[in-house]
Structure formats: C-alpha cells, structure tokens
C-alpha cells in the first residue's frame, strides 16, 4: 500500500462503517476531521483515494452490506467530506497565489519605475555636471580677463566686485560637484570588504597636512582599527569627518584630533573628536541636512554637503551617526556601521 499511515486507515474504516450503519450524519464530521489530519500529515488527494478504497475493502471484508445503491452514495458522501479540507486548502492556496501574483506585478511595476527614474536622474546629473559648469567658467574667466586687461581703468571697489564674482562662481562649481557626488552615492553599489580604517585615516590626514603644511595639528589615530565596509565610501566618510575636524580647529594653536573606536550600546563605534570651534547642541539635528551650515562662510568655508554625504554613507552600511559638541569646546562625531561587538577584546 501507499504511504497512508495504518492507524489513519483504521480510524477511517471505523468511521466509514459507522456512517453506513449510523442513524444520523454524525460520522461525516469524523470524515472531515480525518481529512484535515491527513492534510496536516502531508498526504495528498491521491493518498485519500487509496485510503478510501482500502477502507471500503476492509468494511466489505468485515461484512458491511455496502452493496445497496444507498450505501454507495453514503461511501461517496463520506469520501467527499474527507476531501473537503483539501478543497478548502486549495482554495486558500489559489487566493494567496493570486494575491502574491498581484504583489509581484506591483513590485515589477515599481522596479521598472525606479529604473526609469534612475536613468532619468543619471542623465539629469550628467547635464547638471556638464551644462551648469560652462556658464560658471565664463563668469570666472571673463571676470579674470577684465581684471587683467582693464584692471588699471577700474577702481579698487570695482576690482573687488570682480573678485566676488569669481569667488561665487567657484563656490557654485564646488557645490555642483558636492551635490553630484552626493547623488552618485545613492546609486553606487556597496562593496563590503575588510577596510583598514587606521591606515585610511593616516592617509587622509597626510593629505590634509600636505595641503596646509603650515598647520600644527596633533592627530592621534588608534592602531589596528578595521571595519567591514566599502573602502571607497569609507574614505569619503573619513575625508569629511577628519577634514571637518581639521578645518574647525583652524583657529586653535593647540589643535588636537583623535580618531578611535569604542563599544557603545553593544555596537562597534568609531569616533572622531576635536577641540575646535564646536557647535551649539540645540542645532545638532540640523548638522546632517544638505546645505545646512552652522558657521558662516566668513568663519569657515564649506558648502554644507559633507555631513549629509557622511550620514548617507553610514546609513547605507546599516549604521548611524551622532554628533556631540559645545561652542568653542570641540565636537565629537561617533558612527557605527551596523556591526555588533563580539568578544571583550573588541572593545
């Protein structure tokens, strides 16, 4: 016989026989229950047919009068009842299948829409990069041409205005670049690998001091810091955070920057602390917004895109970033990359 369990067959045969002889239809409830048990045991409709045939044969051997047309009807009735859990389950399956198909279709539509939007964004960024820069180049270039060729005919104020024009053009070019980088981040693929953060940080610091060899900054980078993340994007994070620390300690004679790691709330957390200009904690939530600046361009240069970029990268790694600070008392930026601390030696 098939894979129909023996005891199920016996119970089925007993119930079927009592349906032949019983005064009412109470045995049909048993048929339904047995069908559900069979369904739960993983039996199929063909197993049920086998089960039914076997039970009929058993009933015949035991001398059931299953020969009258009425008994045949009763047998069919019992069989149908035992199959009804299968029918109901099939119905449910069909319905959830239809729901799934509808959801899949919606997802497909959404994916197609996203892809189209991405393509559009890409060509948009391309024209921004290319076409917005050309007029800026003209503004800057011809301002400089005026200064060079007609500078003697202009007074100091006029020459100052031309310098303002150039500064603004260059500032806008920087803004365009920063924004484009920010939008590229959203689209670029995240490649996770082991990254030596200590080495990366030292490289970034070396470039900062190359650019401003006159600055005296005491930078301490903890040894042996590693992280699982995208090397290129983590470099952008460190360039921005260390670059900020570098920039905002610009008015300190004893400028100090520390980059280290600690376990905070069970997460591997990295922090960059400086003793620079700091910021008012009342505006802490504004720090990470695009174009948000807490310092005027007079005090410190910047486009206000850096920290928004950093936050986006950190979030793409499944982590979060926080800032603490006080005016003239420095700032500390702490971020994690979604990696939990394991083992005490990690702290």
169 belongs to the binding site for another protein (CB under 8 A): yes
Of 144 and 256, nearer to another protein (C-beta) is: 144
d(CA 283, CA 57): 84
Q: Nearer to another protein by C-beta: 134 or 282?
A: 134
Bridge partner residues of 336 (DSSP) = 269
Question: Residue 318 and residue 63: Cα distance in Å, rounded?
Answer: 72
Backbone phi, psi, residue 264, to 5°: -125, 125
Residues 127-156 that bind another protein (CB under 8 A): 129-131, 133-134, 136-138, 140-145
Nearer to another protein, 142 or 283 (CB): 142
CA of 191: how far to CAs of 194, 228, 234, 306, 313, in Å? 10, 9, 11, 21, 12
Interface with another protein, residue 60, by CB under 8 A: no
Least separation in angstroms between CB 155 and another protein: 22
Q: Positive or negative, the Cα torsion across 232, 235, 241, 243?
A: negative
Q: 137 vs 215, which CB is nearer to another protein? A: 137
Count interface residues toward another protein (CB under 8 A).
19
How far apart are CB 182 and another protein at their closest, in Å? Answer: 15
- Taking the least distance from each CB to another protein, the nearer of 176 and 199 is 176
Does residue 253 bind another protein (CB under 8 A)? no
Show the beta-strand stretches assigned E in 137-255: 193-196, 218-221, 226-229
- Tokens 């790694």 correspond to 317
Q: Which residues bind another protein (CB under 8 A)?
A: 126, 129-131, 133-134, 136-138, 140-145, 166, 169-170, 173
């Amino acid at each position: 016989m098939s894979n129909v369990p023996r005891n199920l067959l016996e119970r089925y045969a007993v119930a079927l026989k009592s349906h032949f002889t019983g005064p009412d239809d109470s045995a049909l409830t048993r048929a339904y229950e047995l069908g559900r048990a069979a369904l739960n045991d993983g039996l199929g409709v063909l197993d049920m047919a086998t089960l039914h045939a076997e039970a009929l044969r058993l009933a015949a051997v035991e001398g059931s009068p299953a020969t009258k047309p009425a008994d045949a009807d009763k047998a069919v009735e019992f069989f149908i009842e035992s199959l009804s859990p299968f029918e109901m389950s099939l119905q449910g399956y069909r319905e959830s299948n239809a729901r799934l198909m509808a959801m899949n279709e919606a997802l497909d539509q959404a994916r197609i829409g996203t892809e189209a939007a991405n393509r559009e964004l890409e060509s948009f960024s391309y024209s921004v990069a290319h076409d917005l820069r050309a007029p800026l180049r003209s503004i800057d270039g011809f301002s400089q041409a005026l200064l060079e060729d007609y500078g003697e005919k202009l007074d100091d104020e006029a020459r100052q205005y031309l310098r303002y024009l150039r500064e603004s053009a260059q500032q806008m070019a920087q803004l365009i670049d920063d924004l484009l980088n920010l939008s590229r981040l959203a689209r670029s693929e995240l490649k996770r690998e082991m990254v030596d953060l200590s080495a990366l940080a030292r490289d970034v610091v070396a470039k900062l001091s190359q650019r401003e060899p006159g600055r005296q900054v005491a930078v301490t980078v903890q040894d042996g810091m590693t992280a699982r993340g995208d090397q290129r994007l983590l470099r952008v994070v460190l360039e921005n955070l260390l670059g900020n620390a570098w920039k905002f300690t610009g008015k300190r004679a004893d400028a100090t920057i520390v980059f280290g790691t600690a376990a905070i709330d069970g997460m591997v957390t990295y922090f960059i602390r400086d003793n620079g200009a700091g910021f008012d904690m009342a505006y802490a939530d504004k720090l990470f917004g695009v174009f948000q600046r807490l310092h005027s361009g007079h005090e410190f240069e910047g486009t206000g895109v850096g920290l928004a970029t950093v936050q986006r990268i950190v979030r793409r790694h499944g982590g979060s970033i926080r800032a603490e600070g006080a005016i003239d008392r420095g700032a500390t930026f702490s971020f994690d990359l979604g990696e939990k601390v394991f083992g005490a030696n990690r702290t």
